[in-house]
Amino acid sequence: MGVRIGVIGTGAIGKEHINRITNQLSGGEIVAVTDVNQEAARQVVNDYSLHADIYPDEASLINAEQVDAVLVTSWGPAHESSVLKAIKAKKYVFCEKPLATTADGCMRIVNEEMDLGKRFVQVGFMRRYDSGYIQLKEAIDNRVIGEPLMIHCAHRNVETEDHYTTDMAITDTLIHEIDVLHWLINDDYQSVQVFYPKKTRNALSHLKDPQIVMLETKGGIIITAEIFVNCQYGYDIQCQVVGEEGIVKLPEVANINVRKQGNSSTAILMDWKHRFVDAYDKELQDFLDSIHQKGEVSGPTAWDGYIAAVTADACVKAQQTGQQEPVRLQEKPVFYQG
Amino acid sequence: MGVRIGVIGTGAIGKEHINRITNQLSGGEIVAVTDVNQEAARQVVNDYSLHADIYPDEASLINAEQVDAVLVTSWGPAHESSVLKAIKAKKYVFCEKPLATTADGCMRIVNEEMDLGKRFVQVGFMRRYDSGYIQLKEAIDNRVIGEPLMIHCAHRNVETEDHYTTDMAITDTLIHEIDVLHWLINDDYQSVQVFYPKKTRNALSHLKDPQIVMLETKGGIIITAEIFVNCQYGYDIQCQVVGEEGIVKLPEVANINVRKQGNSSTAILMDWKHRFVDAYDKELQDFLDSIHQKGEVSGPTAWDGYIAAVTADACVKAQQTGQQEPVRLQEKPVFYQG
Amino acid sequence: MGVRIGVIGTGAIGKEHINRITNQLSGGEIVAVTDVNQEAARQVVNDYSLHADIYPDEASLINAEQVDAVLVTSWGPAHESSVLKAIKAKKYVFCEKPLATTADGCMRIVNEEMDLGKRFVQVGFMRRYDSGYIQLKEAIDNRVIGEPLMIHCAHRNVETEDHYTTDMAITDTLIHEIDVLHWLINDDYQSVQVFYPKKTRNALSHLKDPQIVMLETKGGIIITAEIFVNCQYGYDIQCQVVGEEGIVKLPEVANINVRKQGNSSTAILMDWKHRFVDAYDKELQDFLDSIHQKGEVSGPTAWDGYIAAVTADACVKAQQTGQQEPVRLQEKPVFYQG
Amino acid sequence: MGVRIGVIGTGAIGKEHINRITNQLSGGEIVAVTDVNQEAARQVVNDYSLHADIYPDEASLINAEQVDAVLVTSWGPAHESSVLKAIKAKKYVFCEKPLATTADGCMRIVNEEMDLGKRFVQVGFMRRYDSGYIQLKEAIDNRVIGEPLMIHCAHRNVETEDHYTTDMAITDTLIHEIDVLHWLINDDYQSVQVFYPKKTRNALSHLKDPQIVMLETKGGIIITAEIFVNCQYGYDIQCQVVGEEGIVKLPEVANINVRKQGNSSTAILMDWKHRFVDAYDKELQDFLDSIHQKGEVSGPTAWDGYIAAVTADACVKAQQTGQQEPVRLQEKPVFYQG
């Protein structure tokens, strides 16, 4: 019998995860669904032919006996409440980013989880499951390039919707680099600074685009991250780590080469959803497998959610002040070490 | 409720498929297992914690009411009998290559399936599910390069075991190109010829390695295929299609780039199992989904199995005669068209 | 004082070499010019502001005391006569391909040169001066890939003029591969065979295009060479050598990468003149330097011209017979060894 | 008759240029040589078999009637004096970097040249003659990527000699990026800032390595330049320009691809001298051609030398202050525009 899952929030990402668990992965079953829009929840149950009950609210879903684990895919401000309720009920939680909208909110979850004494919460930072990043981490951990000294990375989107604001370049976009890079180099951020290059004419007036974020770690590694969310040409994720003895670089997406009309070309993805599709599958399969095999979740922790929140806050502040801003992280609890 | 699967043959590839269906894919369940070595079958049930019954022989497994579909992963000479029995019992079949060891055997399956009037059999040619080949086919079908005129491809393995013989370069190795290339260009083979370049010192005395196989299609496309199964440096699959307006080429495997000690390098796979791991997942998921959604299988057909058998026979003859040998295919039945 | 050069033939390639020697290279000076079209010769002297005398015919130019070396850039059928006259007069010769239009003609030059006892003749096979081919040769000679076993190469042109005929695919196009490949692998051709894939609609009715030429060496190496002279997409030269321990491949032309509109692209040359421009410079500089420093020429020899002629003849015959044709080379004289 | 050249300074770079002009390029001749070490000058004349007179000092060489142009390849602090003397004597000057060791020194040369009313001075910034940078500039000028917004580049050397100090990362290393980048984007620097990542253990204690220099232009373009002069793995020059509509990137050096022992590799240069060898040839050929054809030099101007000096000064200051430092350039004279 697989892990019985209740879903809180049946928007776009919720539906994708429901589809994954139902039609592509092994060992999980959607048995419960809720959404602030009950009609939307009903629609999803219908569309995916789920054998799932529709609950009126998160509390009733979380506490339902048939629910082993909760998938939190509601909008960000609702996450903290759902996660806290779920772990208090000793239900496993897979929570999409952000874990909570504030660092304090993340800490409340961290503390609750530590009180319970085992890992209930996995945060949806899927890049750690991407084959390219995994290879980068293996190379770094195996000291292929010696000590890492600098990282240059780029996060480029084709275009943004009108409601996308300057701070979202941090909280919605860079947030993935914030998580994956400290994991990659086993280090913590110490300070951040934001620079604004010449603005592209393809961004709306309210949006500063592109931006360069410089993050410095406690170990002295400097990361320069380009965020360019209206780059027009494609969804493109670059990452290069410069070490004492060499360099490792994220691979390009493996598309066919076409030689035609004077050019040798390879297609670049236009839709971000395709870039990490394998990583999304793997993070959820890992969630299911870990519960099944260990009775405890793996992957990005509540503490990682806290780090992301604190670092993103510092970056947003640095966007406003133009100054180098400290990243003030609490001491990492033993519970989350190793 | 998922597709209930019985497995005939619990050797290496059988175990891999059992693991896939049990732990990675959605919608299938291993409910029955048999093997000429009953102890081996028991071991597998145990190792993978299957809720599966062990049957004494293929007949009893095939005819078991609880079995919806049969996975034929026994040794090649046993395939035909299992497949025929299974489809006569109206069970879906996923059969690893070869469908049968002779063209006549394949035709018996083809005829049986046509009599039944719907597709029961999927042959395990996984490359059609590889993202690179799919992109090649889309490009060709969308006329990105105009009419295809020539193909150059290479199939290279690190090394072979001692029992690997010259004809296995066709029946075990080139067989994958034989299947995927005619699908790629929507054409049929007309003749084949085999050339033996200078032999590598890394092959045993009984084995001719490398070999070059030239296949010509009815439409006049010429394919030159290098087979080199003791190439030492890695498992490497290359394919380039030259068309009237341009060229398309299979991508390299997406591994990280390392700059170190005067070289910019990317790792080449050493183990063939890793190269098409996604394709293996997808072919089986497609098998399960097609049964579930359409009550009929998709993917490579019994007819494709027949084409592979006839073409491989011609290649093996050409290995011996040194001459151009015809590929004498019967007319493609309407049943398998479109 | 530089090498004083007389030019026989002031057509396109003649003018390019005159320009090179006059404006880009060191140690040579055009002092004499002749052409069957005297007016054309006068024009060239004028256009390049040469301090050169115009001679009425090749004999007077060759025998002029002020001429140290002769550049033969007339049309092919005239080459043999010019080269023979020049070496009889003990003048150095740089002769564009072909050295002579027949194997016998080449042998007459070879014999004359051997009688004279030193190397006077360099044939204009520029690819041996291309950095990529030089690196390939170094790798092979240094046994980076062990013994070479197979070569796959491609020679693709954007399009041909109307007068380009099927045999010119050998004598004008493949001729460069014929020369550079036997040099690359230190081996001699034994037999050749020509295959005609499906014809491109972009070639005129009288021209078979593309063609595949298979050359086998005395050492057993098999070369498959694609010639495709109306490939539309660009001028593209590919060469890959498969050895016992690995593979070496000619680099792509180093052009900038552009990411734009969903594609990562690099321009392919459209004009063949740009591909080997450095090699043209280097072959002529080597001609001048060798005369200056050693009083003897280096580079491709009259014997190489003979090999090219015999091999091209066999290929043209193979085009017509469809059979494997022998390449009957005489024993290599000691004079040309090492 | 070619340009008659006098050389001031016969050290390593002097000898290379003498060799180029004498043995590889067209239209120049070394007729005069001087060096503070007269014996060294004599040696060079001998080694390269020059028909050149040895002068006791720069003044006598510059004023010699037989000298048309002066090559300044002495040590940096001596450049200004030589250049000023030369242009006062109306001799053309090719001056290796730096034009002068101070911004004031450069301005004295600029003013003298403007007084003379024509361009006499070319500064040895060879990258502008590199095919890759030329392609980048063409793409930018042709608006292939729209307006440039950001540049990321890297300048990496295998290792440094002991006397290499932290400021030399600017004055000897970044100086090439300083010159080529403002030319590339037709913009001027406004401010600079220097960051020190974690230091490599492969640098001596007195040297900060690597460094990141951030340069901002008047137009708002932000350049992040990594300087890493003990990177161990090779000499590697990277440059990527991000524009509103796309990205252009400098090509890798065109070396052969080797597949061997589980890796697909391309050699990286270990010696910086090989990377821009064509560019060195072309800058000097352009110097000779421009004098010959126009009676005036082309290429990087005295004003470019001034820009480099001012920008390098600001970078060195920024190394010390850790702050953003302004680049205070005077208004560009009309003389140097267009």
B184 in a structural domain: yes
pLDDT, averaged across chain B? 97
All residues of chain B having their beta carbon less than 8 Å from the beta carbon of residue D262 are: 233-234, 267-268, 270
A315 in a structural domain: no
Element (H, E) at C109: helix C103-116
Cβ contact C195–B226 (<8 Å): no
- Determine which of A269-273, B291-295, B322-326 has the lowest per-residue pLDDT on average: A269-273
User: How does pLDDT run across C8-22, given as a tens digit for each residue?
Assistant: 999 999 999 999 999
Check whether residue C192 and residue C207 sit in a common domain: yes
- Minimum-distance CB partner of A253 among B247, B254, B256: B254
Cβ contact B145–A258 (<8 Å): yes
Which chains does C contact via 3+ CB–CB distances below 8 A? A, B, D
Single out the residue in B255, B272, B289 at which a domain terminates.
B272
Looking at residue D273, its pLDDT comes to 86
What is the distance in angstroms between the Cα of A219 and the nearest Cα belonging to chain D?
7
What ipTM describes this predicted complex?
A: 0.95
User: Can you tell me the mean pLDDT for C312-333?
Assistant: 97
| Percent share of chain B, pLDDT over 90 | 98
User: Which residues 6+ apart lie within 8 Å of D222 measured at CB?
Assistant: A195, A196, A197, A198, A212, D149, D150, D151, D214, D215, D216
Check whether residue D159 and residue D116 sit in a common domain: no
Single out the residue in A271, A287, A317 at which a domain terminates.
A271
Q: What tokens appear for B179 in the block? A: 């299947």
Check whether residue C44 and residue C32 sit in a common domain: yes
**3-state secondary structure (DSSP) of residue B22:** helix
All residues of chain A having their beta carbon less than 8 Å from the beta carbon of residue C268 are: 259, 262-264
What is the number of helices (H) and of strands (E) in chain A?
A: 11, 15
What is the distance in angstroms between the Cα of C329 and the nearest Cα belonging to chain B?
20
Check whether residue D102 and residue D162 sit in a common domain: no
Is the Cβ–Cβ distance between D313 and D319 less than 8 Å?
Answer: no
Planar angle of CA B129, B131, B134, nearest 5 degrees: 70
Single out the residue in A222, A245, A271 at which a domain terminates.
A271
D80 in a structural domain: yes
- Minimum-distance CB partner of C270 among A233, A260, A262: A262
Check whether residue C152 and residue C102 sit in a common domain: no
Number of structural domains chain A divides into: 2
State the pLDDT confidence band at C1, using cuts at 50, 70 and 90.
low
All residues of chain B having their beta carbon less than 8 Å from the beta carbon of residue C252 are: none
Is the Cβ–Cβ distance between C185 and C241 less than 8 Å?
Answer: yes
User: How does pLDDT run across B32-75, given as a tens digit for each residue?
Assistant: 999 999 999 999 999 999 999 999 999 999 999 999 999 999 99
Is the Cβ–Cβ distance between C70 and C273 less than 8 Å?
Answer: no
- Domain range for A118 is 3-127+278-306
Amino acid letter, B183: W
The stretches in chain D having pLDDT less than 50 are none
D64 in a structural domain: yes
Looking at residue B272, its pLDDT comes to 87
The stretches in chain A having pLDDT less than 50 are none
Cβ contact B222–C198 (<8 Å): yes
Check whether residue C88 and residue C216 sit in a common domain: no
> What is the end-to-end Cα distance of chain A in Å, rounded?
31
Check whether residue D106 and residue D135 sit in a common domain: no
State the pLDDT confidence band at B273, using cuts at 50, 70 and 90.
confident
What is the distance in angstroms between the Cα of A209 and the nearest Cα belonging to chain C?
18
Chain D interface with A: residues with Cβ < 8 Å: 146-150, 152, 154, 195, 197-202, 210, 212, 214, 219-222, 224, 226, 228, 231-233, 242, 244-247
Q: How many CB pairs under 8 A join A and D?
A: 101
Check whether residue A140 and residue A73 sit in a common domain: no
User: How does pLDDT run across A307-331, given as a tens digit for each residue?
Assistant: 999 999 999 999 999 999 999 999 9
All residues of chain A having their beta carbon less than 8 Å from the beta carbon of residue B260 are: 144-145, 245-247
* C-alpha of A227 from chain center: 16
**3-state secondary structure (DSSP) of residue D23:** helix
Which CATH number covers residue C192? 3.30.360.10
User: How does pLDDT run across C108-166, given as a tens digit for each residue?
Assistant: 999 999 999 999 999 999 999 999 999 999 999 999 999 999 999 999 999 999 999 99
B333 in a structural domain: no
C298 in a structural domain: yes
Cβ contact B261–D233 (<8 Å): yes
Check whether residue D21 and residue D139 sit in a common domain: no
Check whether residue C51 and residue C115 sit in a common domain: yes
Q: What tokens appear for A102 in the block? A: 């504030």
Looking at residue D317, its pLDDT comes to 98
In this predicted structure, the answer to whether residue C279 has a pLDDT above a threshold of 90 is yes
Q: At what angle do helices D277-294 and D12-23 cross, to 10 degrees?
A: 60
CA distances from A305 to A109, A309, B223, B318, C285 (A): 10, 6, 54, 63, 66
Is the Cβ–Cβ distance between C32 and C64 less than 8 Å?
Answer: yes
C316 in a structural domain: no
What is the distance in angstroms between the Cα of C245 and the nearest Cα belonging to chain B?
6
Handedness of CA A228, A231, A234, A239 (dihedral sign): negative
Cβ contact C289–D23 (<8 Å): yes
| Percent share of chain C, pLDDT over 90 | 98
DSSP D232-297: SS--EEEEEEEESSEEEEPPPP---EEEETTEEEEEPPSSHHHHTHHHHHHHHHHHHHHHHHHSS-
Check whether residue B153 and residue B222 sit in a common domain: yes
In this predicted structure, the answer to whether residue B176 has a pLDDT above a threshold of 70 is yes
Q: Residue D176 and residue D156: Cα distance in Å, rounded?
A: 12
C317 in a structural domain: no
Which CATH number covers residue B297? 3.40.50.720
User: How does pLDDT run across C202-257, given as a tens digit for each residue?
Assistant: 999 999 999 999 999 999 999 999 999 999 999 999 999 999 999 999 999 999 99
Looking at residue D272, its pLDDT comes to 87
Q: At what angle do helices A12-23 and A38-47 cross, to 10 degrees?
A: 30
User: How does pLDDT run across A205-253, given as a tens digit for each residue?
Assistant: 999 999 999 999 999 999 999 999 999 999 999 999 999 999 999 999 9
Looking at residue D310, its pLDDT comes to 98
Q: Residue D185 and residue D137: Cα distance in Å, rounded?
A: 7
pLDDT, averaged across chain C? 97
In this predicted structure, the answer to whether residue B1 has a pLDDT above a threshold of 70 is no
What is the distance in angstroms between the Cα of D208 and the nearest Cα belonging to chain C?
32
Handedness of CA B191, B195, B200, B203 (dihedral sign): positive
Check whether residue A158 and residue A252 sit in a common domain: yes
List residues bridging with B226 in a β-sheet.
B154, B212
